[in-house]
Amino acid sequence: MTVKKPQETYSRRRFLATTAALAMATYAHGEEQPSANPASRRRAVAYVGTYTGAVGNGSNGEGIYLVEMDPQTGALSPARLAAKTPNPSWIAIHPSKKYLYAVNEIDDFRGNSGSVTAFAMQDDGDLRQLNVVSSAGAGPAYLSLDATGSYAFVANYGGGSVAVLPVSKDGSLQPAVDVHRDSMALGSTKAADAPPGSFAISGHDAPHAHMIAADPQNKFVLATDLGQDRIYIYRLDLGSGKLTPHETAPYAMLPSGDGPRHFTFHPNGRWLYSIQEESSTIVFFDYAPGKGTLAVQQTLSALPAGFAGSSFASEILVSPEGKFLYAANRLHDTIAAFAIGADGKLTLLGESSTLGDYPGQCRIEPNGNFLYVCNRRSDSITSFWMNHDSGLLTFSGQYASIGSPASITFLP
């Protein structure tokens, strides 16, 4: 696929400049959308990771792309290739906003490992490669940074391991200082809570780490393992980067066959929501910040009542104000919206079609007004207006064409 650079010149200075509040701005439908957030309407820059090689469902991308968001309409500018790199399916931006990191979801880096690439962000938005290091496992699928920007955490889906990579002062990555992998395999198990007729029983042949991230206090690190139906809990040593399994509760066990994929914390830091890929359920946990423990409070489906057949849940987000939660469903190709009660429990509000095929990662832009969905099989990113009163989503009318989009990350 050939991507032409738009004639407009991009600069990070422009990207970060705060535009004046557009009190008189109109939206694509001719009038201001309800429940708008007029104090937060700045243009935002995003980087899009794509699949470039054969990893499942489509590989039409070329690397990492740069787009700019229109805060009035939610439209994304024509995509510009910022860096070529293999299968950058997940990307993360350093807290300093100077560096970007991307997993390379491969299994042949210096043998049978995946890799992680570090980039310096240039003034025009391009990415200058700093270095490439092993992810300490095959098929890395997720990457995050601790709050200080000292460590990158990597989940290797194919290798079933999680690893800690120190970040140097110049933004480059050092080799892993800690790697954890449990060798237990559950075997092929269908989730008890899966919809009738579901064939979602993959992923339990071996450990499959799918996400890893620090808690809001930066004291504990949690990691989902889809192959073991567990959320592992580690204590983080900020001095060494070492992860120590929780002394009394090293993991939270999910129902057999569920396949925990991703999780998100509520802004209050006390509630955690996990989405299960193979049962298409959401589990709400109470989280004890100082103790790093999880206690189940609620389990419910991410699919509408009466749904039958196969679907794979993929992503989970909480709105910035903490009132609503959104869950993505692949094959069903919807985003389900939930209200979050005063006790943290969820109530389904409704579903919106993603207007694309096989939605993976979703992201809410920094202003908190639009939600973006990466539709991998249809080579598109769609955007939805978030109603801050009802929590429901409305399609903005905007599509962005990018080959096999896997993830979108906005510059904070």
CA distance 92 to 111: 25
Nearest CA among 177, 161, 172 for reference residue 238: 177
**E-state strands within 14-61:** 44-50
CB 231 within 8 A of CB 254: yes
Amino acid at 183: S
- Please provide the DSSP assignment of 86-135 as one string: S----EEE-TTSSEEEEEEEEEEETTTEEEEEEEEEPTTS-EEEEEEEE-
**Quick one: CA dihedral 384, 385, 386, 391, positive or negative?**
negative
Nearest CA among 381, 209, 407, 198 for reference residue 302: 198
- What pLDDT score was predicted for residue 319? 99
Name every residue whose Cβ is closer than 8 Å to that of residue 128 and which is 6 or more positions away in sequence: 119, 120, 122
CB 349 within 8 A of CB 338: yes
CA distance 120 to 389: 39
- Please provide the DSSP assignment of 73-97 as one string: T-PBPPPEEEEE-S----EEE-TTS
Q: What is the pLDDT along the chain (412 residues), one digit of tens a residue?
A: 333 333 334 444 454 443 333 222 333 333 344 455 544 678 899 999 999 987 656 689 999 999 999 999 999 999 999 999 999 999 999 999 999 999 999 999 999 999 999 999 999 999 999 999 999 999 999 999 999 999 999 999 999 999 999 999 999 999 999 999 987 766 667 888 888 888 877 667 889 999 999 999 999 999 999 999 999 999 999 999 999 999 999 999 999 999 999 999 999 999 999 999 999 999 999 999 999 999 999 999 999 999 999 999 999 999 999 999 999 999 999 999 999 999 999 999 999 999 999 999 999 999 999 999 999 999 999 999 999 999 999 999 999 999 999 999 999 8
Amino acid at 48: V
- Please provide the DSSP assignment of 144-198 as one string: EE-TTSSEEEEEETTTTEEEEEEBPTTSPBPPPSEEE-------S---TTSPTT-
CB 262 within 8 A of CB 272: no
